A and B are shown apart, each in its own frame.
Chain A
């Protein structure tokens, strides 16, 4: 029974739209995080002196520390963006797909 419902969901164009939109969004954000994080790790390994420069003359804040603080905040902001969109737009689409598959069941 449930397999039939799954089959109906699979052929529903709404489902395809949900999967591709959400997948694209999630992977884009993931790639941003991975590139920035490992890029930063490689900077640490290959060019530590650049990260040790002050952000401006006389400042006690170094580029490295500023970048890390930025990454903490930026990664969390991306998370918030994803949760916000997934919990409204994507969840509404999901409910729609389930509702349509259920309706045909009757």
Chain B
């Protein structure tokens, strides 16, 4: 086994190096990117470091608890960094900087919505999650309900969320790597998929967490450095910066006024709900509540995580504003050299161009490596969450009904990881040419409408029964998917119909009440004997949720 570990480890490095050597730009469009080698060298350092950690982690990953939750021994600060890392994907860095660059205020509002869910998670959920869960959030929804049916439902909606999120990340990864490193799209997708499989299968949650921590530190320091260098050009004065930015931006002073993004109140509320409660239903985020020792550390990790997220969002806001002048007024960054034309590499490249303008090739290389590392880390976290839904929920609890040995459960999760890796690669290739912007929205929508309502009801509402949970969960899942498919982003933009059947862009405001209502109606009308025993089992669950007595503790090494 040990030898095999070495072999796969070496193989992973080899594949990566082969990728890197295939690197120098082949396509004409990439010729301007003369900085590839900085990025590739820095990325190589990151991969070497993370491989070293994976190697170290593989010796510490023996039990299921090690594999899923790093033995529950992560500290609050480490876990806070890892949660922040999970939450801030490459789309956050690139997409939100671009949004501020283009829309000013609206980008800032979007970030506030992404942030506002964290305090609610802390006040109402963090403690109970830690006290009731063990490996996956289905442990909590199925705590007193039918293990087979409720777990299957929770695992399915977890996998749906993971898959949509994976598609968005993989397609983004392929395009980004193609642009930054000059690698072929398919090679990039395979590289990401294979590195992810190596991290997760060999190192489990220990490696995934540390990869996430390193990446979060890189992201925070790289972003801060770029922001400081850019902001220094304006003497660190917000007034000077804004005076100049509003003078040149097409929106003028309106830059700092709410724009068209959320002019429709229903869309605005629905987006707020989706982002806020979607965060509280993302399986790879929820899983991080089980990697700490106790409720105390769980609370601390949310506090640290939300602090890092809030800080970084404000850094991004300043980066985006500085980029309006530093990037937006520099012909070097526009195709054909016309200021105001199309940015080289597309709108998402604002953060990268800014790094190059203020810190030269070194900073660009570093930021490109950060972006790649970010994708890799987020994809690994997602794969681990998806794999645990398959191995812990479906294999160990539903199929084997709790009789699976630890070794066979770990084997199942490794197989599941490899399968998910290939699914991610295939989906990434299939969706190459598609606009995948709606995929993240869909993932949040499903998380908010399918995972969150059943999870919160199972923790807070005594009356929830298996029947109610199933109707609520499946109802939320189907309605969230249906609303997105019928909305403009899929029905018109992808399927090419003339008019959207669902007039709003965000599903949460409609799908969440459907889930809650179905769960309520079908629980209330459930008068079976099973329902009665489920309701009476709530009392013990409630006390455990409140006190943490009986909660799974950290295993000692």
Contact = CB atoms under 8 A, between A and B. Distances in A.
Interface of A: 2-3, 5-6, 9-10, 15, 18-19, 22, 26-27, 29-30, 33-34, 37-38, 40-42, 44-46, 48-49, 51-52, 59-62, 64-65, 68-69, 71-73, 75-76, 78-80, 82-83, 86-87, 91, 94, 97-98, 101
Interface of B: 105, 108-109, 112-113, 115-116, 118-120, 122-124, 127, 238-239, 241-243, 246, 253-254, 256-259, 262-265, 268-269, 272, 276, 295-296, 299-300, 302-303, 306-307, 310, 313-314, 539-540, 543-544, 546-550
A32 to B, nearest CB: 9
Name the 4 nearest CB pairs between A and B, nearest first: A52-B257, A60-B242, A45-B265, A48-B258
B119 A79 contact: yes
A74 to B, nearest CB: 10
B340 to A, nearest CB: 22
Contacts of B313: 72
B124 A72 contact: no
Contacts of A71: 112, 116
Given A26-B123, A44-B262, A37 B299 contact: no
Contacts of B548: 94
A33 B122 CA distance: 12
A60 B239 contact: yes
Contacts, number: 159
Contacts of B123: 26-27, 29-30, 33, 82
7 contacts: A9-B543, A33-B116, A33-B123, A60-B242, A65-B256, A86-B127, A87-B296
B268 A59 contact: no
Contact of A10 (B109, B262, B539): B539
Contacts of B306: 75-76, 79
A12 to B, nearest CB: 10
Contacts of B112: 37, 40, 68, 71-72
Max chain B Cβ within 10 angstroms of own Cβ: one of A38, A68, A69: A68
Contacts of B105: 51-52, 62, 64-65
Nearest to A42: B265
A35 B549 CA distance: 33
Given A30-B120, A60-B246, A41 B239 contact: no
Nearest to A3: B540
A51 B258 contact: yes
A45 B257 contact: no
A76 B310 contact: yes
A68 to B, nearest CB: 5
A28 B254 CA distance: 36
B269 A34 contact: no
A87 B300 contact: yes
Contacts of B539: 6, 10
B268 A44 contact: yes
Contact of A83 (B122, B239, B246): B122
A3 B536 CA distance: 12
B263 A94 contact: no
Nearest to B243: A60
A9 B119 contact: no
B296 A72 contact: no
Nearest to A101: B549
Given A15-B546, A33-B119, A33-B120, A51 B243 contact: no
Contact of B269 (A5, A38, A65): A38
Q: Report which residue of A3, A46, A71, A72 has the largest number of chain B beta carbons within 10 angstroms of its beta carbon.
A: A72
A61 B239 CA distance: 7
Contact of B543 (A6, A22, A26): A6
Contact of B272 (A18, A29, A37): A37
A69 B314 contact: yes
A80 B310 CA distance: 13
Contact of A45 (B268, B296, B547): B268
Contact of A38 (B124, B272, B302, B544): B272
Contact of B546 (A19, A27, A37, A62): A19
A6 B551 CA distance: 13
B115 A9 contact: no
Contacts of A9: 543, 547, 549
A52 B124 contact: no
A44 B119 contact: no
A79 B276 CA distance: 15
B257 A48 contact: yes
Contacts of A49: 257
Given A65-B105, A78-B119, A98-B549, A45 B263 contact: yes
B124 A44 contact: no
Nearest to B118: A79
A72 B122 contact: no
Contacts of A82: 119, 122-123, 299
Contact of A94 (B120, B276, B547): B547
B296 A62 contact: no
Contacts of A76: 119, 303, 306-307, 310
A103 to B, nearest CB: 13
Contacts of A15: 543, 546-547
Contacts of B295: 86, 91
Contacts of B113: 37, 41
A100 to B, nearest CB: 11
Given A29-B119, A76-B310, A98 B239 contact: no
Contacts of A19: 546
A28 to B, nearest CB: 9
B108 A60 contact: no
Given A15-B543, A26-B124, A64-B105, 12 more contacts: A27-B124, A37-B112, A41-B272, A48-B257, A60-B238, A60-B256, A62-B257, A64-B109, A68-B109, A71-B112, A79-B306, A82-B299
